[in-house]
Each structure stands twice: as C-alpha cells, then as structure tokens.
Amino acid sequence: MFNIKKRIPLINLTSLAARQWVNTCYVADTGIIKQRSCYSVFPSDSFLQSFCKMSAGNQRNASKKARHPKETLRHIRTREQRKNVDQHGPATVYVQVVGAGSRDNGPSLYVFSEFNRYLFNCGEGTQRLMQEHKLKAARLDNIFLTRMSWQNVGGLSGMILTLKDTGVPECVLSGPPQLDKYVNAIQVFSGPLEEIKIAVQPYTEPQYSDNTMTVNQVPISAQLKASKRKRSPSPERGSPSNSPRSRSQSRSPQSERWKLEDSEELINDRERESPDRPGGSPRISTRDPSLVVAFVCKLHPKKGNFLVAKAKDLGLPLGTPAIGPIVAALKDGKTVTFEGKEILPGEVCTPADPGPAFIVVECPSEDFIEPVCNNEHLNRYHTGGAEDPASLVVHMTPESILQTDRYKEWMERFGPTTEHLILNEQAHTIHNIRSHKIQTQLNLIHPEIFPAPRNCETKKQAALHVPSVRGECLLKYQLRPKFEWQRDAVPLCDSREFIKEATELPGFLERVEECKQSLATDPTVLSGKADQYPEVVFLGTGSALPMKIRNVSATLLNISPTQSVLLDCGEGTFGQMCRHYGNNIDEVLSNLSAVFISHMHADHHTGLLNLLLQRERALNSQGRPFTPVLLVAPLQIMTWLNQYHDHCQRILSHINIIPAKFLTEGAEVPKYKTKTFIQSLLKKLDLEKFQTCVVHHCKNAFACSLTHHSGWKIVFSGDTMPCDALVQLGKDATLLIHEATLEDGMEEEATEKKHSTTSQAIGIGMEMNAEFIMLNHFSQRYAKIPLFNADFNEKVGIAFDHMRIRFGDFGAIPKLIPPLKALFAEEIEEMVGRREKRELRQMKEAILDVLGSGCMNGTQAQPPVSKTAGT
C-alpha cells in the first residue's frame, strides 16, 4: 500500500526519478488500484505542476468548508435577520420524544419549529439518538434542564463538545443555577471552551423568549427527608457521623474531597461532616437536590391566514399595491372599509391562533408530590385557572408517583382537553434501531460470540383517567397547525426484516454455512469450549463520540460468575449493558468491583457516574451490602469528581481511588491506605498482578495488564501510538485488546492524533508475543467494519459492540471474517473507494513536494517518460 512517509527521502530527486517512483508505487501496490487499471505518467512537468496546484487548491477549499459548516452559519444568519423583523408565530410546531425514559435511555424531549429547535434534558445517549434519527444538534437554540442529576445532564458535556466542533458559536442552558458550575467542571477534561459561548440562564433570570415561544422557568423546592438529603451507601452507614444531626450540616472539604495536592489523602472517611474549613471559613457547596425546575412554554400568537378566494369574491384589489395594507390590517384583526363596504377580518381570514401552552415537569420522588401539586404557576393552567388549559403536559415522573391518588388528582384538574405524555422506565420502546439491526444480523453468523440484543422488561403501568400516551422514541405531538399525535416517525424494529435483509445479500448464507462447517470440524475450536471464564464483553468499540452503530470505549471483563472489572467507561456504557444483559443488568452490576479509566478524554470516562449510581441501585435491589468501586484512573479524574460532587450530585462515596501511576513498574506507594486498596483490588479479582504503564497518547494516559492466579494475562492498551512500554508490560499475554483507530495508509494522521493504525496494533501484539489480538476503538468512519489488510491472520480479530469472547473462541474468531465481509460488502467497497481517492491525493502531494524541492535545488526538468505503469 502507498505510504506517504516514503516520499521523505525523495526530496532531492529529479523530476524523472519522481515519475519513476510514482510508477513504482503503483507497481508495488498489491491492492485494488493495480488490479483495476494501468496509470500513464504525466506527459510534462508543466501539466504535472498545474495538476498538483489544482489539487492543493481544492484541499485548501475543503479545509475551509470543514472549519465553517455552511448549514450552521446559514441558520444563524437567518435567525439574526429575523430579530429585526416583525414576525408572526411559527406555522409548524411539534414536541418529539428522543429518550422515552426507559432504563437504558433517560427522558429527553426535542421541540421543533421552523424558526427554532430546543432540547429538554440531555442524559447519556441523547447525542447518539439524535445522530441516528437525524435530529440536528447544531440547530439547537436552548437546552433546558429540569434537575441537576446525571440522568438529565449525563450527555451534556459530549453535546457541548460536539456543538463546539460543529462551529456553533453559542449554546444556551436553562435550569438550575448549578449549571454554571457544571460547565466549569467539565473543562477539567474538555479543555477551555473558547470557541463556543456557554450562556447559563438560571431560573432566577427573566423569562426566555425568541421567535417561537416564551418559556417561564418554575422552581419547585421540596423538603427532603433526612434519609434522602444524605444518602450514605458506604459501609459506614451506621456510624455516628451519619446521625441526623451531622447530616443536616454542611460538608467539609476534608471529608469527601480528594485533594490533588495530597495524592494520598484518601476518601474512606468521606461521610464525616464538619461545617468549617480548616482555616475557619465556611464550606461553600452549591449542590441542591431539593430543587426541580419546571418549564411553562407558550407559543407566540399566529395571525390567521388570508383567504385569497374570498377576497376575490368581495372585490378586493388583489395584485395591486393597495392590497398590502388591507391584508396587514385584516390579519391584525382590524375592520377595513373598501369602496364604502365594511369588511370584517373573519370574512377573509382564518381565526388567529392565540398560542397554546405546554408544560414540562419532573417529579422525581414522593417528596416533590405536594410542591408540584400546590405550585400556583402550574395550577394557572388547570381548568378554571387564570390561563387557558395547557394543551400538553409532559411528565418525567416515576410510575410509583403516577400511582398516587394525589398526583392523579392533580393531572385530572387540567381537564379533558389536555394531553399527557408520560416518560419513565415503563416505556416500551427500542431506541437504538441500527445497533439492534446489526446485532441481529451478526447473531446469524455466531449466536454465542454475537448474542441477540435484549431489553429490560417493563412492569405494570398505572391506570390514569386522563388523556395520556406513553413515550416512544420519535413520537410527536403536534401543536401547530393542529393538535394531534403523530406516529409516522416512530421507528420500527422488526428482527424478521433485519434477518431477511441479511439473508438476501449475495453469498452471505453460503459464507455463514462454510464458517459453521469449518468450526464444527476444527479441533482447536472444539477443545476450547469448556472454559466459560474469563469472558470479555465489548460494550463500546468506537472512538471520539457515540454513533448509531458503535458506542464509545467500554470493555467488561468477567473474571468469574461473581467477579468483574470494567476497562474504560465512555458515555452510554450503562445503556449498552442494559441492551446486552436485559433483566439481568442488576446482577451484573452487583458483580462489578473495579473500574479502570485509561485517560481523561471524554469518550473514555463520562459513563462512569451513571454506572456508579446504577450500581448502588442494583446492590439495593439484590439485597447486597454496598461497597465502593475500586477506581484505577489518572489522579486528575478527582478534580472533575470533586467539582461534580460539590455542585451537582453526591458521588464520592461510590469510589475508592487508586491512582494509576502507583501500579506502574517500580512505583512506590507511600501511604498505607493506597496499599490496602491495591491489596483489595487483587483479592476481589483473584489477580496475581494488576499493572499499568504510561503510553503515548495524551498526558497521563495509561494501559493496563491483569495477570490471574490461574496463569492467564489480559492487556488493554487504552489509546496509544505504538509504545515500547506497552510491549514490555504485555509480554506473552494471552489476549491483547489494542486500539486500531485508523486504517493502514493513514500513519501520518495516526501520529498527529497519537493513535495506532491496524498494522501498527497487530505489530505490537506480535512483538509482545500475544496469543491473540482483538482490535478495538475504531474511528467512526468505520462504523460497521474496518478495512482488512495483509497483516490479518489466525491471531487477529475485530471487536464489535456486544461481542462476547472467551479464550476458547480464539480459533473461531478469524473464521468469522468471510461471512463478515459478505455482510458488509457494500460498506467495504465504499471504504476502498475512499482509500483510492486518498492515495491519489497523497501521490499528488508527494509529487508536488518533489517538484518543489527540485526547483529549490536548481534541478532541471527531465524529458517526459512514456512508460506505462504495470506493463
């Protein structure tokens, strides 16, 4: 394959040599370019130079387009122009469900008008759903958050980073005042957000208004019971520090915060309470779990439509300049006199729409029932209230609250004309259709390695005596031009259709049958079936940001039926676990005792908080005592966790931190508590060693190696360029899980971004003498499958989301490649086409460099060459 690095030593060669080198590149190429045709050398230097200049110009133009997305700028310019014009209200407005509130996808709502777009709540997976279902995040004008809980803000950091990368100049966040602190906290791992202005509008500021609607934020405060104000899931639950008196006091910075300046100040005493700082100043914490913000949204009035046919019957001067003021006056509701005849607005205009209202309210627990039901602002929209009844009320409310008589009564007081949309865990809908489809089709190849997707079953729903609808992904309620539910966008998830589509692909069934026959007779495959553990489950195999087919990095290592460790935890990891394990999710979470975070890039750790919170819930449901997770991570993660804990939600009681640097070869562990945690880590996972090493990626990036008492060794690379330290760490590994972000031929980009190509990853595995290599962490440009190359052999496999492997599968995995190629033949052909174009572009750049160097050195142009490559 052509490698752009090969042009470096050719700088001083003549034009003739450059041409011969170009020909040689194509003659040596073993790929499709050589097979398809022969390439003649350019006839002259002048043609060659102009061709290269044209190519360079095109590349510069493409670069400019990438930096300034046209669509984003166009809609922003249109919005600015509209501010200076007297506009009537929008003609089309609808509310659409993104996340229906199921356990794997929290509640989120998308509101559309031809002028504006809005999002209500942004939990984990929201960005992935919007990308899959083509809801354009770049068009969002405002993101409204009902509560400072990870369920509502878990996907917000990723959304902000995507908006910044897209070129959106400003993002408005409305809701709890702690949002400002949240934005500051995420910059610990996102870096400065200088390219995008984040404007926080807390509920204390005046109402929000734009071309579509006016939004009033309604704060709702509850008197939380002591047990809810301070939930202490730690083993010290019954200690004196957890008394009601101590719980009512402010938190001390010494009790739960991990201090970076003292890397050994551990946090098992995190539940102690003290009102003061060491210096006597009061402890400042803005966390407020007693606050929920509801939103009352009222559309701007829309003038009636002018009826041309009726105007013609009345003899109005259509088609003349005089008609303009007449139409404007009639649409404003004024009576017009024309040629002595009085014309009423109702004669030539449809009725004006005064602007319906809809309400978004969250009632997270029983403590909020009375504050919600007694809120004067919300009750103005009841039947007989100061305002017309709300057209729609969206309830982000658990089923246990919906079943209470008090909440039911409050819902009924809105009257029969109000529709109610319920978003909670009893929603029965599949959100991630494309992932479900791919997994169903992969299951045809090998049902054990690619298990069928599963869902968490719903329980009995409350009987409601109001017009109500349960949320489904992409379900719409239209507010204009008329009130109606619309299900046309709700995606269908038909496994039979997915299977039918796969079986009709050319050669797919034949390759599957050949694979099954080969597996049935291969003694190496048959001999390895007895060992069920360790088991590796790939939950996320993509890089950068969650996409519809591959989620971001997460790998679950089940060491035994009761022992597991998670390697990286990108956004949406818990949702992936729900879709993999279904109703067994609580049992799996209860077995999780350790998490390794390789580095602080968002796609590797922003799923951690949800995992920790859901694990606490799982332990409670299983009747098992709570113990903190042992978190092996860069120490810098504690800056983020401390800030989130202080200003958003209690989290520090869920972890015991082991700084990853203390597990490197020869590291000294200076304090007793860290040694205790390391010993606990080895004991809980039945490991002989848990080691880390620094790798070549960002600052404080680590790989890890787990050596079991039974002798096996699993190595996880995290993100890295080829790294000698990793080779030493992984010597004679049983399994290497190595990132392969980019394909061969993209070595320069891989070096720039400090990632590995496919061949580089395989080369590291060969160098460390790994028994088997699983490639992982693919660029999202390889959404379904990466490109194969000559380095693939019987020791290499490709990871897919929800893929499950054991050591006994090493012989089977390479045999899956032919049916995989048949299943994704169309995608592979497209990727090969893109590779050809890239190689041609690289060739032009190389020739341009050679010619430029020749001119600088005074080299004369050589006679043209008529030789044809490949002959």
| Phi, psi (degrees; rounded to nearest 5) at 296 | -105, 115
Q: What mean pLDDT do residues 281-305 have?
A: 87
pLDDT tens by residue, 433-445: 999 999 999 999 9
pLDDT of residue 96: 98
Among 101-110, 348-357, 812-821, the range scoring the smallest mean pLDDT is 348-357
pLDDT of residue 852: 79
Q: What mean pLDDT do residues 511-516 have?
A: 97
Among 651-660, 703-712, 811-820, 846-855, the range scoring the smallest mean pLDDT is 846-855
Q: Global pTM? A: 0.86
Of the spans 162-166, 306-310, 525-529, 758-762, which averages the highest pLDDT? Answer: 758-762
Among 207-216, 225-234, 404-413, 577-586, the range scoring the smallest mean pLDDT is 225-234
Q: Which of 348, 281, 343, 346 is nearest to 310 (CA)?
A: 348
pLDDT of residue 303: 87
Residues 6+ apart with CB under 8 A from 475: 96, 97, 100, 421, 469, 485, 486, 487, 489, 490
**217 alpha carbon, distance to own chain's centre:** 27
Among 43-52, 205-214, 594-603, 714-723, the range scoring the smallest mean pLDDT is 43-52
DSSP assignment string, 466-520 = SSEEE--TT-EEEEESS-EEE-TTSPP--HHHHHHHHHTSTTHHHHHHHHHHHHH
pLDDT beyond 60 at 37: no
Find out whether 798 and 446 touch, Cβ atoms under 8 Å: no
Cα 802 from Cα 852, distance rounded (Å): 50
Q: What mean pLDDT do residues 30-58 have?
A: 40
State what percent of residues in the chain have pLDDT above 90. Answer: 72
Describe the crossing of helices 179-190 and 156-166 by its angle, rounded to 10 degrees.
70
Cα 756 from Cα 739, distance rounded (Å): 7
DSSP state of 813: G
Among 121-125, 202-206, 247-251, 600-604, the range scoring the smallest mean pLDDT is 247-251
Among 7-11, 281-285, 627-631, the range scoring the smallest mean pLDDT is 7-11
> 193: buried, middle or exposed (CB in 10 Å: 19+, 13-18, 0-12)?
middle
What pLDDT band is residue 713 in, cutting at 50, 70 and 90?
very high
User: CA 443, 432, 608, 399 torsion: positive or negative?
Assistant: negative
Which tokens go with 113?
């008008």
Cα 469 from Cα 337, distance rounded (Å): 48
User: How, if at all, do strands 341-343 and 392-396 pair?
Assistant: unpaired
Q: Which residues pair with 595 in a beta bridge?
A: 566, 631
pLDDT beyond 50 at 244: no
pLDDT tens by residue, 817-841: 999 999 999 999 999 999 999 889 8
What pLDDT band is residue 790 in, cutting at 50, 70 and 90?
confident
State what percent of residues in the chain have pLDDT above 70. Answer: 81
- Determine the length of the chain: 871
Find out whether 128 and 572 touch, Cβ atoms under 8 Å: yes
Which tokens go with 331?
């649409």
What pLDDT band is residue 859 in, cutting at 50, 70 and 90?
low
pLDDT beyond 50 at 151: yes
Describe the crossing of helices 608-622 and 573-581 by its angle, rounded to 10 degrees.
40
pLDDT of residue 260: 46
**Residue of higher predicted confidence among 422 and 225:** 422
pLDDT beyond 90 at 407: yes
pLDDT tens by residue, 369-384: 999 999 999 999 999 9
Find out whether 854 and 534 touch, Cβ atoms under 8 Å: no
What pLDDT band is residue 285 in, cutting at 50, 70 and 90?
confident
pLDDT of residue 357: 98
Mean pLDDT (the chain, rounded): 85
Cα 565 from Cα 491, distance rounded (Å): 35
What pLDDT band is residue 61 in, cutting at 50, 70 and 90?
very low
Cα 272 from Cα 419, distance rounded (Å): 47
pLDDT of residue 32: 34
The SS3 call for residue 321 is coil
Cα 344 from Cα 52, distance rounded (Å): 70
Cα 97 from Cα 704, distance rounded (Å): 40
Q: What mean pLDDT do residues 727-741 have?
A: 98
Q: What mean pLDDT do residues 320-328 have?
A: 90
Which segments of 423-462 are extended strands (E)? none
What pLDDT band is residue 670 in, cutting at 50, 70 and 90?
confident
pLDDT of residue 827: 96
pLDDT beyond 50 at 24: no
pLDDT of residue 257: 53
pLDDT of residue 82: 59
| Phi, psi (degrees; rounded to nearest 5) at 316 | -70, 150
Q: What mean pLDDT do residues 593-597 have?
A: 98
Find out whether 237 and 209 touch, Cβ atoms under 8 Å: no
**Residue of higher predicted confidence among 861 and 380:** 380
Q: What mean pLDDT do residues 136-159 have?
A: 96
